[in-house]
Amino acid sequence: MQSLRSLYNPVHIAGGLSIWSLWFVALYGGQGVGCSVAPPPLEDGPWTWLNLALALLSLLTAGLLLVLARLFHRAAKRPGCNERERFVASVSAGGHLIAAIAVAFIALPIMVLPPCA
């Protein structure tokens, strides 16, 4: 059995979408709390402190997911790993890449819509 630190542990296959789901809850939970505690004025449009914070969170999450996708992609190409390890690392890389793309597309409305409208 692989240790959790190993890049070839099958638990990493669900890692990308798990990070995405935590980001999703934090994004909309943070927006809800921000709008109830200190709603920014609607006249400011999308350029408010709340949208800036949510965009920063999204950017950091997408960056983390892309770094992890690259890490698993490199692990899949290492010489000396067997087919099972290559499969786990490749699927993990793909899952992290798909999660990064999902973060980018879901975060796009932050740039064009007021947060509390």
Asked if residue 58 belongs to a domain, the reply is yes
Asked if residue 5 belongs to a domain, the reply is no
How many structural domains compose the chain? 1
Asked if residue 2 belongs to a domain, the reply is no
Instruction: State the residue range of the domain holding 25.
Output: 10-111
Residue 41: HSE in the Cβ half-sphere, 13 Å Cα cutoff: 2
Asked if residue 4 belongs to a domain, the reply is no
Asked if residue 19 belongs to a domain, the reply is yes
Instruction: Name the token pair of 56.
Output: 């920063």
Q: Please give the pLDDT value at position 6.
A: 84
Asked if residue 105 belongs to a domain, the reply is yes
Query: Rounded CA gap, 63 and 104, in Å?
Result: 10
pLDDT band at 1 (very low <50, low <70, confident <90, very high): low
DSSP string for 43-80: GGTT-SHHHHHHHHHHHHHHHHHHHHHHHHHHHHT-TT
Tell me the per-residue pLDDT of 86-97, one tens digit each, with 9 for 90 and over: 999 999 999 999
Tell me the per-residue pLDDT of 37-80, one tens digit each, with 9 for 90 and over: 999 988 888 889 999 999 999 999 999 999 999 999 999 999 98
Q: Give Cα 77 to chain centroid, integer Å.
A: 23
